[in-house]
Structure 1
Amino acid sequence: MLRKAVKLWSEPVWVARVGQVYQKTTDSLKHQVAVGMNTALYQWGLLVAVIGFLLGRAVILTELTPFVLPFLAAIYLLKRDKAAIASFSLVAGAIFSYHGQVGFVIVGIIAYILIQKAVTRFVPNQTQALPYLVFAASLLSRLGIVFIGSGTISGYALMMAAVESGLSFILTMIFIQSVPLLTVKRVQRPLKNEEIICLIILLASVMTGTVGWAWNDVTVEHVLARYLLLIFGLVGGAAIGSTVGVVTGLILSLASLASLYQMSLLAFSGLLGGLLKEGKKVGVAVGLLVGTLLIGMYGEGGPGISATVIETLVAISLFFLTPNRVIHNIARYIPGTVEYATEQQQYLRKIRDVTAGRVEQFSTLFQTLSKSFQMPAPKEDMERDEKEVDYFLSNVTEKTCQTCFKKERCWVQNFSKTYDSMNKIMTETAKNGEIKDQLLQLEWNKHCIRPEKVVQAIVIEHSHYQVNQMLRKQVSESRKLVADQLLGVSQVMGDFAKEIQKEKEAHFQQEEELMEMLRGAGMEVGHLDIYSLKPGQAEIELSVPYDNGQGIGEKIIAPMLSSLLNENVVMQKEELHFYSNGHSHMTFGSAKQFVIETGVANVAKGGAWISGDSYSTLELGSGQYAIAISDGMGNGERAHLESTETLQLLQKVLESGIEEMVAIKSVNSVLSLRTTDEIFSTLDLAMIDLQTAKAKFLKIGSIPTFIKRGDKVIKIDASNLPMGMFQDFDVDVVSEQLMAGDILVMVSDGIFDSPSHVENKDLWMKRLIAEMEVAEPQEMADIILERVIRSDRGILIEDDMTVIVAQIKRNTPKWASIPIYRTPMPLKKRA
């Protein structure tokens, strides 16, 4: 049995279970201890009591206690429920102190409470009045005690009372900012520099309450001051470390004149330890130890240096025993630290996720609304049609059969035959306006005793039925339009939510490398920020001195960045004198792989001023280039308005980020619903990706497009009805991979149909384009228009004519790359 038990407990499963139980028990105990400590310190007011006790003991210049009333006033203002604890702890600290100022502490507390109660009724803003109340309570209490004790007030007593009251005035403003940092469980935001200084002053003031506590020449206030110096030196570096040293040393020197040299020791040690913070705890500790040895020898000399070194070693021991988690939590609130940056990124990530979540919710909402507006299923359509037929026949029978004496025979005994016959008559009259089927007419005459009246009622009812059908169709088309628009908005918002959720990657190492290389090449760079290093999506911002218009950014910095990133980088934006020091702000980004150069030639019918054709060429923010021609039906101002409005609608929808298919269908829905006039317009749209040169051609009732590639001419054609003719239609999309040097020719129907003597117009246009030797798009557009007009004897321009020629070119920067002969290894690690 014993062997079995030993074997059972030696199994890995049992060991793992015991470990899990032990871990859970340990975590539970830690959690309970943490909860208990938080409850005691913050809810029960133990932390307020400890600080109050030490401030009650604190004294400066051997007789002044300016810390009591400011602390009480701050607690009374910020945490009034802890004011009683603060008062008793201050009195207790004064009782167990060496300065003998118990009477002033008690009188000062009573005087402040009375003045505060009296003034609160007349002063609404207590925060602004608080320093003045403390000043008055301190001055009156000190002068009252001096007068009671000696019967007179000397000039020295008046001066010391004024100094004490003035210090209380200043400390009140400091404690209002710093007390909340110690009396709350968790600070919700990073600290400002002023708040850090106020916090250090409060901690140093609390340390003065330990004056007189010593063990074998090792004083507690010196150990705590150096421990505080180590913490802030590691967290904030040289600036924060030296600041802590100066402030703490000054306050300790005021508390004990024998510690005057401590200010020099702490300031130098804080600076040295902060400079060595890269060595973590060991580096900061070495800095404090070296500072102690150097300043200690000048302070107390050889005999007293041993006590100073021991105090430093005790502080270092406490520093090494401090958990890294505590130091990490402190660093989160100090600007400039890595922990602070991480905390800020987490906060921004939370804001970003919340924003993206709300956008996704709106996207889902619009998608749901789109589904609710979508057309019903075919089965529902059939059911609805059957109901409408029933309503139709019900209206007819109500006017005819209700007064017939044979209605029971027709609708009760022969319901199916009557219903089917009337349904056939309804279909026949809807198609022909009358009954042309003689067999159907004969059967109906035999079945009904009032055949002509029923047929006439059916014909009359058709007019109402057709109006209802037309209204239903318009409602259906409107619902379809709304559904498409909502779906497009949903897709745009969904894409926007994904863009928000993209992480902004840190490029600290790459920024340092670029900064070093640019400065090594002789460029003076103020700062440099990298937002993206993805191929084709690089985005860099930097500041440089104003160059008096010499174009350093375009001519030098952009070519350098192109060489470093191994891709074409251009200056996208320059803001002169953007910074207070006169530096300019420049933005650089990846150049597009291709550029489009266009030329346009157009003429109106008969040489008029207004053409029914409209065109547009624009570069979208997504790296797409759009070329569009719209031809309104007919000529003149009305056709011009139709085509112009079509392109304006399309441009706005495309710029909003909606996909081109949804955009075209949305524009078509608007055009088909806005008027009952038969006003249509064609659309010829080409979308070209400037990074890959891949093109999409969407043709709505338009003329073929031609691509000239060397001696070869390619025809792009698709068959779709003009826009505005039908609400629901399909769009054929033709994709084509373009190449550098390709020439795109888009024309309106006036160009294509003008040569009336030509039978095969496709072949004629191909030959015309292939024979051209010119390479400039504008010149080529002018020549095509001229030859088309002259081909028809040049007598009369029969229609509006528009031709757009676009040439795809490889994007070559104006300035060649400037090589830097040092391989930037970190820059190759693109995200």
Structure 2
Amino acid sequence: MQRPQISSYRRRYINEISEGMNVDNTAVFLCVIGFLLGRAVIIDNLGPFGIAYFIYMCTHKKYKMPVFFSISAGIILSHSGPHALRYIITLFFINFISSFISKYDDNIFRVSIIGFFITSISGMTYSLVTDLYMYDILVSIIEGLAVSSLIYIYSYGIPLILKRSIRRSISSEETIALSIIIALSITGISNISLFDVSLKNVLSFLIIIVVAYQAGPALGSASGITIGMITTMNTVSSPVYIGIYGFSGLLAGLFRKVSKYATTIGFIMGWSVITIYTRGSSELVLTLREITISSLIFLMIPDEKLKYVEKFTKGILGSEESSINYISRIKEMMNTRLKDVYKAYEEVGVTFEKVREKDKVLDQRDIASVIDMVTHDVCSDCPMKRGCWNLKFTKTYNMFTNILNHLEEDGRIDNNYVKAKFERDCMRFDDVIKGCNHYFDLFMLNYKWNKKLCETRRLVSSQIKSIAYSIENVSNEINNSMDFDMDMENNIIVELDKENVKVDKVSYIKKNDNFEINIQKRNCYSGDLCEKKLINAVSRAVGQEVSAYKMGCRSMNNICNIRLVNFKKYTAKTDVSYLSKDGNIISGDNYTYMEISDGKYMIVLSDGMGKGEKASEESALTIEILEKMIEAKIDEKISIETINNMLMLKSSDEIFSTLDLSIIDLNNGNLESVKMGACPSFIKRKKGGVEVISSSSLPVGIVSEIKIDREKRSVREGDIIITVSDGIIDAGKDKNLGENWLYTVIEKMDKKTTKEIAKHILDKSLELVDGKAQDDMTVMVTKIWRNRK
């Protein structure tokens, strides 16, 4: 017997049902929402929420059938018989035309129009079967409009649920739509209770508290109003509850920055005050248990789980998130560009380094060239040429080669050497000697220039590589250690406003464990606003002490730029005493001391070769370059190599200068000392004793490849760092005291201030040279102080 054929329509219908019966975690979640929306009822047993939900889900065939059954179950359990039958028939009709609806999955407006007509016609048909009144027609049209609006809302919220695992950025519309869906779902819980505790109220309170804690008072009150309006829309006292929910969310959000406990207390206070004022104390007692349960659940939720809510709340409060994302994109773009520049410069540096340097004045090819030139000049018209170069070519060529090799070793040719080995075979050996010497001199000159060129190219290569590494360091710093904090900037602005300090711009930049605050405002004219108001207000805002970087007014065109950093544990103060050689106005010693970035303090002393203007120019160049490069956060090794290359390339003359660099970390008291041909420096401890820091490295500008010696020490409050030039150290040589004389003076002196100490050491040095300085004399004295909060 032949099996009956299944019609193409039935086959397609069965396939659609099987496609829509997928069950997974997402399907279960959607079914729960469908069940609750099916149960949600407003005035006169109207339930448009489940109908709108199913119409929209027809555009997602994968979950259509599970949602159909869940909505049907919700409708059956919540509506009375005739109303339930009406909505079930409507669902079946929608399912019947679901293929038609799914064609417009990319046009939600048309789907909304279809939903309007289906719901309106369904309501009018039901009214016609019972008793048709004009009121029923209006209600049917209103219900159709509600379904149409809800479909549009679902089109924003449901896709967020379907793709929740891959979404990273959420729009404001999606967040609002999702909150409405949640509020409608809570309405579907209806009167379900356990031990007289309303599940609907517990979930409503919990959601408001969570949103207020994560997003603040604005979104907390907004969520309270939304949930209050939707969950109580079918009650007479709905306006009152909307106010109670909204005020409670507002008060909870105001306390969110204190703690989770303060947030729950704020919510309870807001609910209690308004409820007692509007509904009486008896109403408060009925809901207090539910509020307590919600608060306890909230307190038990780990902060890591609550962070998940931020993705949704920042969809509404997205201006800050957008700014941070914009900054991140800028950082990423700048990092990529800087990396490209770094690679380009590094490649250029490597290319410059690949240069062939001659090992000898004359290689085999050069020897052949010299022989050819000498032969052309001397042997071309010699009557013995045929015998030497035709009959005895190998012997003659080897003799020339031996002469040139001897010339390479000794620099000049010994006549006796040539005469003994060459006179018998050559009648013009004197001319041969002159020719060989002449061409060798030319090749020697070329060899020297080749060496100079190779050395210069190595210096240029080293400098280009240093630039590349500096760019890479800047790139890494931008990419890794800089974060902007918008909340902290707002806190600073609020605290400054409380002190009546008006600012134009505030930026808070966090760098690892440190931070930097830049404030731009109009001049205060008195110049003391930083110390009187601004630092105290900013310290309160950030929750720790801050200090001004380079204290003092830095203003231009009536605009003041203030830079604040972490409160530093120590402060350094430096004084200098100096005297030029032979009373010259210009000193060959140059120095600088300054506070640099990241809470560090730099002391530099440089002594140029010789005296007067030339020495001053060399040391000034060293100081100027080092100061700018260190201020630009370029590593001191790269800075010193740059100075070395500059001095070597600056002139054909041999110029150099010593360099004595000390960097003190004012946060922890670490001292790092770098010396390049500099004199020993000394640390006089507050508790007694003197420590010497010395080095045997060469000054900068002498050799292309320098060796940098670093020495690290620790300094504490009251310690004194003494840096001197060689004019001070050498003052004791004529008295056969060496360097030890200064150690003894420092150990025995009882001066306290930096100015007194510097003057005392200079005076002692002058005593040793009978008041006549034999070299430029400079003394730098730095004392460490502990800051008091």
- Match of residue 551, structure 2, among 551, 567, 570: 570
Q: Which residue of 2 aligns with 1:441?
A: 419
Q: Given the alignment of the two structures, is residue 385 of structure 1 paired with residue 379 of structure 2, yes or no?
A: no
Provide closer, same or farther for how the CA distance between residues 670 and 295 of structure 1 changes in structure 2, counting only shifts above 3 A: same
> CA separation in 1, counterparts of 2:452 and 2:360?
20
SS in 1 for 2:724: strand
Deviations 1:735-776 (A, max 9, x none): 6289649999xxxxxxxxxxxxxxxxx999959999xxxxxx
Q: Which residue of 2 aligns with 1:483?
A: 461
Query: Are 1:668 and 1:727, in contact at CA under 8 Å, matched by a contact in 2?
Result: no
Q: Given the alignment of the two structures, is residue 141 of structure 1 paired with residue 128 of structure 2, yes or no?
A: no
Counterpart AA for 1:557: K
Q: Which residue of 1 aligns with 2:750?
A: none
> CA separation in 2, counterparts of 1:333 and 1:299?
33
Query: Are 1:229 and 1:244, in contact at CA under 8 Å, matched by a contact in 2?
Result: yes
> CA separation in 1, counterparts of 2:423 and 2:247?
120
Matches within 5 A, 1:589-608: 593=573
Provide closer, same or farther for how the CA distance between residues 160 and 440 of structure 1 changes in structure 2, counting only shifts above 3 A: farther
Q: Which residue of 2 aligns with 1:228?
A: 207
Provide closer, same or farther for how the CA distance between residues 248 and 620 of structure 1 changes in structure 2, counting only shifts above 3 A: closer
Q: Which residue of 1 aligns with 2:724?
A: 736
Query: Are 2:55 and 2:151, in contact at CA under 8 Å, matched by a contact in 1?
Result: yes
Query: Are 1:653 and 1:663, in contact at CA under 8 Å, matched by a contact in 2?
Result: no
Shift of 1:480: 0.9
Shift of 1:53: 3.3
Structure 1 gap ranges (5+) = 1-38, 121-125, 579-583, 599-612, 636-641, 673-677, 701-719, 745-761, 771-805, 812-824
Q: Given the alignment of the two structures, is residue 473 of structure 1 paired with residue 454 of structure 2, yes or no?
A: no
Q: Which residue of 2 aligns with 1:675?
A: none
Provide closer, same or farther for how the CA distance between residues 468 and 67 of structure 1 changes in structure 2, counting only shifts above 3 A: farther
> CA separation in 2, counterparts of 1:663 and 1:561?
42
Matches within 5 A, 1:312-461: 315=294, 326-327=305-306, 329-330=308-309, 385=359, 389-395=363-369, 404-407=390-393, 420-425=402-407, 431-432=411-412, 435-446=413-424
Q: After the TM superposition, which of the residue ranges 559-568 and 235-244 deviates more from structure 2?
A: 559-568
Provide closer, same or farther for how the CA distance between residues 526 and 567 of structure 1 changes in structure 2, counting only shifts above 3 A: closer
Percent identical across equivalent pairs? 17
Query: Are 1:112 and 1:137, in contact at CA under 8 Å, matched by a contact in 2?
Result: no
Shift of 1:229: 3.7
Q: After the TM superposition, which of the residue ranges 289-298 and 50-59 deviates more from structure 2?
A: 289-298
- Match of residue 553, structure 1, among 529, 537, 540: 529
Shift of 1:688: 8.9
> CA separation in 1, counterparts of 2:554 and 2:144?
57
Q: Which residue of 1 aligns with 2:189?
A: 210
Q: Which residue of 1 aligns with 2:88?
A: 102
Shift of 1:477: 2.7
Counterpart AA for 1:284: T
Q: Given the alignment of the two structures, is residue 117 of structure 1 paired with residue 103 of structure 2, yes or no?
A: yes
Q: Which residue of 1 aligns with 2:36?
A: 54
Query: Are 1:629 and 1:685, in contact at CA under 8 Å, matched by a contact in 2?
Result: yes
Shift of 1:728: 4.8
> CA separation in 2, counterparts of 1:697 and 1:627?
10
Shift of 1:460: 8.0
> CA separation in 1, counterparts of 2:281 and 2:301?
31
SS in 2 for 1:479: helix
Shift of 1:438: 1.9
> CA separation in 2, counterparts of 1:166 and 1:551?
66
Provide closer, same or farther for how the CA distance between residues 683 and 154 of structure 1 changes in structure 2, counting only shifts above 3 A: farther
Matches within 5 A, 1:816-831: none
TM-score by length of 2: 0.56
Shift of 1:419: 5.1
Shift of 1:443: 0.9
Query: Are 2:509 and 2:515, in contact at CA under 8 Å, matched by a contact in 1?
Result: yes
Provide closer, same or farther for how the CA distance between residues 569 and 684 of structure 1 changes in structure 2, counting only shifts above 3 A: closer
Provide closer, same or farther for how the CA distance between residues 305 and 722 of structure 1 changes in structure 2, counting only shifts above 3 A: closer
Shift of 1:239: 5.2
Q: Given the alignment of the two structures, is residue 244 of structure 1 paired with residue 223 of structure 2, yes or no?
A: yes
Query: Are 2:120 and 2:144, in contact at CA under 8 Å, matched by a contact in 1?
Result: no
Counterpart AA for 1:556: K
TM-score by length of 1: 0.54
Q: Which residue of 2 aligns with 1:200?
A: 179
Q: How many residues align?
A: 646
Deviations 1:241-292 (A, max 9, x none): 5443322121012256687765455445545666777674698389559947
Provide closer, same or farther for how the CA distance between residues 49 and 643 of structure 1 changes in structure 2, counting only shifts above 3 A: same
Q: Which residue of 2 aligns with 1:284?
A: 264
Shift of 1:616: 13
Counterpart AA for 1:736: V
Matches within 5 A, 1:507-518: none
